[in-house]
Amino acid sequence: MLSKLLKHEFRATGRIMGPLYLVLLATSLGMRVSIQVLNHADSRLLRMLGGVLAMAYVVAILGVCFAAFGLMIQRFYRSLLTDEGYLMFTLPVSVHQHIWSKLIVSTVWFLATGAAVMVSMLVMSVDGTFLPAFIQEIGYVFDAMTAYYALNGTAIVLEFAALCFLGCVAFALQFYAAMAVGYSRPNHKMAWSVAFFFLFQFAMQILGTFLLLALDESPLHHLLMNVDIHITPMLGIHIGMGIMIVGVVIYGAIFYAVTAYFLKRHLNLE
């Protein structure tokens, strides 16, 4: 059933994000043409046109970013917290499947938006000879790498990709948890949602500070300080990435548990 929910969500959100990506690509192409023209022109009209195209490109970037963010909130709100929620919760689907369908779709659009912005910048800023030359240089770099650096470099890229994915999931869950708690209140649900969002942020910051202070005075910290451990820079990078990934997973899991609990036990659609 999760696959059907995902299909429905991608179809509903793709109608908005797809055209926006095309607009972003069109404005980046316009920027590229205007840059090439302005390099060989001395016309006030052309400079004004170039300024308009630059503004349109910036607006397009902001548009796709805000659209991805807005859809994350709008789809969760509309499907689960309004009158439509009565219908959605009568389906033979668990609360967890509802949450994961929203999470997966929102995360995909976040990552796709980041990729679209980078592609648009590449289209805008380079000529036709850049990409082949860049690929060739990357090939030279990989040829010169030893197996040690090639494997570790690949591992770091995969770790960073996992961190980005999990970060997007945790980011969405912060808003889902605040809305789930806010809509358990009898009145002023949206105002409560905003209040709980900032309350959660404050609580997590306080919790993180106390945790760091506790670890600083813990026996484990003193043990590690007295043990002579030689860590290579590459190993240090992997350990740091692993710690960040675990931290993001714990952070997201807390908000996921809050979201699931309030949607199951305390949701007030009236």
Q: Over range 160-176, report the average pLDDT.
A: 91
CA distances from 111 to 17, 69, 104, 118 (A): 12, 12, 11, 11
111, 114, 171, 105: CA torsion to nearest 10: -30
Of residues 98, 58, 94, 97, the one with CA closest to residue 75: 98
Q: What is the pLDDT of residue 86?
A: 72
Q: Is 29 exposed, middle or buried, given 0-12, 13-18 or 19+ CB atoms closer than 10 A?
A: middle
Q: Tell me which of 34 and 256 has the higher pLDDT.
A: 256
Please state, in angstroms and as integers, the Cα–Cα distance from residue 75 to each residue in 86, 148, 249, following that order: 15, 45, 23
Given a cut of 90, is residue 256 above it in pLDDT?
Answer: yes
The distance from CA 196 to its chain's CA centroid, rounded to whole angstroms, is 21
Mean pLDDT of the chain: 81
pLDDT for 49-59, tens place per residue? 777 888 888 89
As a whole number of angstroms, the distance between CA 51 and CA 48 comes to: 5
